[in-house]
Amino acid sequence: MKNEIKKVGLVGWPVKHSLSPALHNACFEKLGLSYRYDLYPVPPENLGKEIEKIKDSLAGFNITIPHKERITDFLDESDSSVSQIGAANCAFGKDGRWTGFNTDVSGFLKALRQDFDPYGENAFVLGAGGAARAVSFALARAAAKKIYIYDIEKEKAEKLAARLKKFFPGGLFFAASDFSAVAKCRLLVNATPVGMEKDEIPIDVKFLYNQLYVFDLVYNRKTLLLREAEERGLKCRNGMDMLIYQAAESFRIWTGIYPPVDEMRKAVGRR
């Protein structure tokens, strides 16, 4: 009798650009696991209605923009990372109960540390949504010296800075009202979706100073931010490795097996 296929997938809006099905399904096939990863586009106004249907039919799922914060309202419990950050990017269902996880934290740090150590360094984070929360908490855990957070909605940046201070009372966290603090930093992280679909840039290019290391979480294309950074001779990285490492941890949570990361790289054309 053929094993029943367990369904997992990605919940977000939009999701059509996602490479997650390719890298997960390649590993399911490689390891002979009866799982299938698909995309579940859910507009923000439909999350409450659609998520219950999704939970009834899936064994686990990832969460991407714009649902990483709201999804916690629909989970039964969360691990310590989600409780601190207030955002989840992975959920696992067992015995009718759903637990939230945040694999973005470890995925981001593992990718960043390949060529930049944030310990004792100042960082400027663009954005204050779910991804920016994970990035900021990751940098705080890695003992970055000062973390500046900029968002077009300044109140969101202020709330994130206050949340960081709550869990890291000795840390130095600031809601930036403009980009001037970039001059004090060695790391710039774009944790917004700006640049994902078209040539937009989340910061004035005059702030791309020569001491900066630029990390853009967007992975599906070479963004204008990265092209401008490279043109100025700055070291930079896109979000592909973060995608792979956070996906590998999600894979482990659902299956109990850590996947072959090289297989994931092959599936998305990174050898």
Per-residue confidence band for 270, with pLDDT thresholds at 50, 70 and 90:
low
pLDDT in tens, 125-181: 999 999 999 999 999 999 999 999 999 999 999 999 999 999 999 999 999 999 999
Share above pLDDT 70 across residues of the chain, in percent, rounded to a whole number = 99
pLDDT in tens, 87-127: 999 999 999 999 999 999 999 999 999 999 999 999 999 99
pLDDT in tens, 39-93: 999 999 999 999 999 999 999 999 999 999 999 999 999 999 999 999 999 999 9
What positions carry a catalytic annotation? 68
| More confident position, 178 or 220 | 178
Asked if pLDDT for residue 2 goes beyond 60, the answer is no
Asked if pLDDT for residue 11 goes beyond 80, the answer is yes
Q: What is the mean pLDDT of residues 204-224?
A: 96
Domains of the chain by range and CATH? 6-102+243-267 (3.40.50.10860), 106-238 (3.40.50.720)
Q: What is the mean pLDDT of residues 20-41?
A: 97
Q: What is the mean pLDDT of the chain?
A: 96
Residues 239 and 191 sit within 8 Å (Cβ to Cβ): no
Asked if pLDDT for residue 251 goes beyond 60, the answer is yes
Asked if pLDDT for residue 219 goes beyond 70, the answer is yes
Please state, in angstroms and rounded to a whole number, the distance separating the CA atoms of residues 79 and 175.
27
pLDDT of residue 3: 72
Per-residue confidence band for 1, with pLDDT thresholds at 50, 70 and 90:
very low
Per-residue confidence band for 271, with pLDDT thresholds at 50, 70 and 90:
very low
Share above pLDDT 90 across residues of the chain, in percent, rounded to a whole number = 96
